[in-house]
Amino acid sequence: MVATACSGGGSDDNGGAGSRSGGSGSARSSAASDTSASVLDKALGRFSGEAVGDSLQAEFGDASRLAELTAKQSATWSGLQSTGSSAILEGYDYASQLAIKLSAADYAVSVGQAPGVVTLVAGGQDASAVTSAAKSLGYSGGDVLSQDMNVSKLITVGINQVEATGQDVVLAGSGADLGLVDAKGTTLADDDDIAALSDCLGDPAAAYLSDVDDHRVGLGVADDDGAAVSTICVKADDGSAAKTLAADVKQELASGTVAGGTAYTEMFTDSKVSVVAGDVVKATLTNADGTEANTVFTMLAQGDLPGV
């Protein structure tokens, strides 16, 4: 997976993170409170536009929806249960140690690269329980609880800062700024390229946004009447470049293979490629029986995206 996090060494005394300031940007950032916006749009609307840094890395999961899908089809969906927070929670049961209930959250989203990853678990959380659990694990401070990294205490390798407010929890590594969440000004949802990818993805249960070589890419997976449907969206330079890329993607899906030798046609039973919004290539793929829902994200991590 992309956006996995392992914080660097050194001490952390809240280095400028401070408490989150609240408030929201204008224009498209109103998606954070817009009831008609997709959950992905709302999540992007919670992060400052400055969160991207040198390279876009964002991971999103509609937590309660993923929990429901996993309960119905565990073999297909279980690999995505922690998507949105897996950057710093996956693998060691850190969520339960911090009294975080992912299945109760509205969504989880992680933005940035280690050690600057910031994770927001939005909704459904008990701030007092999380704060108490964090303090019992050695975190201390005011609104933002912190703890220096200690390799003998694994939770501190990825999580050096914890802030629980209302029903939300924000977690971060040593090099991260918690103030990127709910900051005033423009948000990730205001960025034209990111907005185009979000529109292309629609309403996914899980999504990744990433810079891949010269392209900005969005990947999503959703449920369609029991089947996992994967979507690949690529922002091209212009309409002409998008048409050329769409032809390449279509050809590769029809006759190409991933690095391990498996044909795309074995992994996906149906594929549709088009150009949307003038310069965004969109490929919609129906996962074959036995193809796990997280397959398209694995393709990204392994450099197996068609045409990119």
The mean pLDDT of 61-74, rounded to a whole number, is: 95
Give this prediction's pTM.
0.88
User: Angle at the Cα of 189 (from 193 to 244), degrees rounded to 5?
Assistant: 20
How confident is the model over 248-299, as pLDDT tens digits? Answer: 999 999 999 999 999 999 999 999 999 999 999 999 999 999 999 999 999 9
How confident is the model over 208-234, as pLDDT tens digits? Answer: 999 999 899 999 999 998 899 999 999
Q: What pLDDT, on the 0 to 100 scale, is given for residue 124?
A: 97
How confident is the model over 121-157, as pLDDT tens digits? Answer: 999 999 999 999 999 999 999 999 999 999 999 999 8
In this predicted model, which residue has the larger pLDDT, 40 or 4? 40
Confidence of residue 32 (pLDDT cuts 50, 70, 90): low
For the chain, domain boundaries: 27-180, 191-301
Long-range contacts of 296-301 (CB under 8 A, 24+ apart): 296/219, 296/220, 296/221, 296/230, 296/231, 296/232, 297/1, 297/2, 297/80, 297/83, 297/206, 297/208, 297/219, 297/221, 298/1, 299/258, 300/2, 300/208, 300/210, 300/212, 300/217, 300/219, 301/1, 301/2
Distance between CA atoms of residues 93 and 224, nearest Å: 30
- Within 10 A of 258 (CB to CB), how many other CB atoms are there? 18
Compute the half-sphere exposure of residue 17: CA atoms within 13 Å on the CB side of its CA. Answer: 27
- DSSP for 178-191, written as a single string: GGGBT-SS-BGGG-
The mean pLDDT of 98-103, rounded to a whole number, is: 94
Average pLDDT value for the chain: 89
